[in-house]
Homo-oligomer: A and B are copies of this chain.
Amino acid sequence: MMQAYHELEARKKRSSALNNAMGILQWDQQTMMPDGAAPARASVLAELSVMLHDMETGSALSDLIAQAESEADQLDHWQRANLREIRHQFVHANAVPAALVEKLVLAQSASEMTWRTARASNDFKSLAPKLETLFALKREEADVKAAALGVTPYEALLDQFDPGRREAQVDAIFADLEAFLPGFVRQVMDKQASQSAPVTPQGPFPIARQRELSHEVMRVFGFPFERGRLDTAHHPFSGGADGDIRITTRYDERDFMKSLMAVIHETGHALYEDGRPAQWRGQPVGNSRGMTLHESQSLLLEMQAARSEEFIRFILPTIQRLLGGAGAAWEVENILRLYRRVEPGLVRVFADEVTYPLHVILRYRLEKAILSGELSVNELPLAWNDLMEQLVGIRPVDDTDGVMQDVHWPEGIFGYFPTYSLGALAAAQMFTAAQRDDSDILPGLGRGDVTPLFGWLDRHVRSQGCLYMPDELIEKATGSALGTAAFKASVQARYLD
């Protein structure tokens, strides 16, 4: 009885070991690996990807899943959700033939390698042929997955990162934001112009001290250093393996806030991973609930909790003690205004939270057009610049800080960008709901006590794994469907009131 289901759990445990191994290899690649080992590492990761694909596909597995589904009435709540996730992973993996997996891995690796130099030398022409090849393969992947899932090709890719998400919903949410944001940005800019400019604390801020500050802030947020690390990498990320959470940052001696906010952001991701239900480790239902939820956890810490006046009042003395700051630049009011400065710019990763969704909407529209074939690779730079001017109000002067600024497309990542902004909306919605449920959350942050906030997050998000679909989880946690209201109210309160 339930033998098929238990066999599936055993198989998932094994593929989870491979995923964990790849997690550490990917972390190592960004932090420790000597540069010359890159080709060897790429080849190892490609082999492991194909191996994983083999383990996740095939008729024996298909039969096992069908068998387990026919006995689903014997499963409990969590097991049934696990089986649903196993089926979901199978449909995604099995839709793609092994030969296409291998071609994709190679094309992604070739295109990403070219992107590095092409971006540095503003040479989109050299990148274009690699993108042509890669995008053709992505269309193929999207088509076979769309057929298997019964959704549109774009949704099939989006579904990998945010299961169940549909274009119509994203279109509606983004239309709402697009109607709201440009006017709101002008209002904030007008308000800023009417005030004296905030003063930027003057460095240099030694890296060793910034590192100490990172550790101190991570301790405030309860980062479990006995099963995690902080290191330096070109780009901040959160990675590692089950029970071994590793985050990175990069330091700028002139500006301590960049790294500090990156560390808090990545800590949010890491704590989500760390808080997943322990008894379901290694099973799909024990995973984090996709990228919208993941971004909600990082942005809730970075944009909501850590930028609250309460938290800034609490942490500022620590920052001053470690970095030695004093004077007008270090007044709470000034720091708050620095943190909450809106300024339209060309580059997504440097964007403030108010203009950020406009960068995402631009990418969402273009990547759908690329995938449908409406937009060719050669038309892409011009389309980018036009849309950037239209949405953000500035026109890129080159492709380096234009169409080539992100690694996502050269790495073949489509359908990921929307989750940044959907995550920001979810973060605002959750932070609002959490404060309504527990009035001690903001006062807690004011005394450096994250217990009230984390109690709420543990109960409603971290401990839930993949028991529910993303939108179900959000609605259960906050009492309403994912929408723009809380985000709008939150930026209204912080930027205009």
A17 to B37, CA, bound (A): 14
Which of B25, B36, B47, B227 is within 8 Å of A226, CB to CB? B36
Contact B241 A34 (CB under 8 A): no
Which of B28, B34, B39 is within 8 Å of A228, CB to CB? B34
A149 at the interface (CB under 8 A from B): no
A18 to B14, CA, bound (A): 13
Contact B40 A244 (CB under 8 A): yes
A229 at the interface (CB under 8 A from B): yes
A166 at the interface (CB under 8 A from B): no
What mask results when residues 23 to 55 of chain A are scored 1 for a CB within 8 Å of chain B, else 0? 011001000111111011101100110110000
Contact B34 A17 (CB under 8 A): no
Contact B21 A243 (CB under 8 A): no
Contact B228 A44 (CB under 8 A): no
A133 at the interface (CB under 8 A from B): no
A225 at the interface (CB under 8 A from B): yes
Contact A34 B226 (CB under 8 A): yes
A87 at the interface (CB under 8 A from B): no
User: Smallest Cβ distance from A227 to chain B, in angstroms?
Assistant: 4
Contact A39 B243 (CB under 8 A): yes
Contact A37 B225 (CB under 8 A): no
Contact B32 A44 (CB under 8 A): no
Q: Which residues, 210 to 245 on A, are CB-close (under 8 Å) to B?
A: 224-229, 241-244
Contact B40 A20 (CB under 8 A): yes
Residues of B within 8 A of A51 (CB): 14, 17-18
Contact B242 A40 (CB under 8 A): yes
User: Smallest Cβ distance from A335 to chain B, in angstroms?
Assistant: 32
Grouping DSSP codes into helix (H, G, I), strand (E, B) and loop, the A interface class, with mixed when no group exceeds half, is helix
Contact A20 B34 (CB under 8 A): no
A165 at the interface (CB under 8 A from B): no
Given A28-B28, A242-B40, A13 contacting B47 (CB threshold 8 A): yes
A22 to B41, CA, bound (A): 12
A225 to B244, CA, bound (A): 27
What mask results when residues 430 to 463 of chain A are scored 1 for a CB within 8 Å of chain B, else 0? 0000000000000000000000000000000000
A182 to B129, CA, bound (A): 72
Given A32-B32, A224-B36, A48 contacting B18 (CB threshold 8 A): yes
Given A28-B28, A43-B17, A47-B14, A33 contacting B243 (CB threshold 8 A): no
User: Smallest Cβ distance from A195 to chain B, in angstroms?
Assistant: 46
Contact B241 A37 (CB under 8 A): yes
User: Smallest Cβ distance from A309 to chain B, in angstroms?
Assistant: 34
Contact A229 B32 (CB under 8 A): yes
A481 to B255, CA, bound (A): 66
A47 to B17, CA, bound (A): 6
Q: Quick one: closest B residue to A17, CB to CB? A: B47
Contact A244 B20 (CB under 8 A): no
Contact A244 B34 (CB under 8 A): yes
Q: Quick one: closest B residue to A242, CB to CB? A: B40
Contact A40 B226 (CB under 8 A): no
A51 to B244, CA, bound (A): 22
Contact B34 A48 (CB under 8 A): no
Contact A41 B244 (CB under 8 A): yes
User: Smallest Cβ distance from A346 to chain B, in angstroms?
Assistant: 34
A244 to B29, CA, bound (A): 11
Residues of B within 8 A of A39 (CB): 243
Residues of B within 8 A of A22 (CB): 21
Residues of B within 8 A of A18 (CB): 47-48, 51
User: Which of A37, A229, A241 is most buried by chain B, counting CB atoms within 10 A of its CB?
Assistant: A37
Contact B34 A25 (CB under 8 A): no
Contact B36 A17 (CB under 8 A): no
Between A and B, 26 residue pairs with Cβ closer than 8 Å are A13-B47, A14-B47, A14-B51, A17-B48, A18-B47, A18-B51, A20-B44, A21-B22, A21-B25, A21-B44, A21-B48, A24-B24, A24-B25, A24-B28, A25-B25, A28-B28, A34-B225, A34-B227, A36-B227, A37-B227, A37-B241, A37-B244, A39-B243, A41-B241, A41-B244, A44-B241
List the 9 closest A-B pairs by CB distance, nearest first. Answer: A17-B47, A40-B243, A36-B227, A37-B244, A36-B226, A17-B44, A20-B44, A21-B21, A37-B227
